[in-house]
Amino acid sequence: MSKIIYHPSVLWAQRTNEIYLTIELSDIKDEKFDLTATSLKFSGTSEEKPYEFEIEFFNEIDPELSRRAVTARSIFMVLRKYNSDQEYWPRLQKEKGKLNFLKTDFDRWIDEDEQDEKSTDMNDMNFMDFSQMGANFPNPGDDYEEEERKKKKRKK
């Protein structure tokens, strides 16, 4: 019997000089990356299940200038396009067709004609300082603690 291989959900967005990939897998273990100028091969384990995928890029990237950050919930990658003054790619993968696990990351997507209006400060992101990730989000426990205080006041 053959082993079942799963595909993680992969989100992508781009700028004229970079590709942003988010591999949505929590608590990833044994992750392996093979990033070349023309493709990305990924494999890893999450919740005892093996995941993997391979994408051949539409055009070349520069693996030396590309980087990644692994968190408890995902892997975020910034892939530097080899020809950074190039226009937007019409698609991520080389071949036409749909990869079922690949989706557009609308949270990061900026249309080509709007790129100059918006900041593209992903280069300034410190991939080693995860303490700032989610810094602007409320603490999920705050609502609970506030409710508990209100209940105690009502009982008095």
Model confidence over 1-11: pLDDT tens digits?
568 999 999 99
Is residue 103 exposed (0-12), middle (13-18) or buried (19+ Cβ within 10 Å)?
Answer: middle
Q: Taking the model in full, what pTM does it have?
A: 0.70
Overall domain count for the chain = 1
Residue 121 belongs to domain with CATH number: 2.60.40.790
Residue-range definition of the domain harbouring residue 76: 9-155
Identify whether 139 is part of a domain: yes
Residue 140 has pLDDT above 90, yes or no: no
Q: Which residues pair with 124 in a beta bridge?
A: none
Identify whether 3 is part of a domain: no
Tell me what pLDDT residue 22 has: 97
Rounded to the nearest 5°, which phi and psi values hold at 153?
-65, -40
Percent of the chain with pLDDT over 90: 58
Identify whether 2 is part of a domain: no
Q: Where are the alpha helices (DSSP H) in the chain?
A: 140-155
pLDDT tens, position by position, 13-60: 999 899 999 999 999 999 999 999 999 999 999 999 999 999 999 999
Tell me what pLDDT residue 115 has: 63
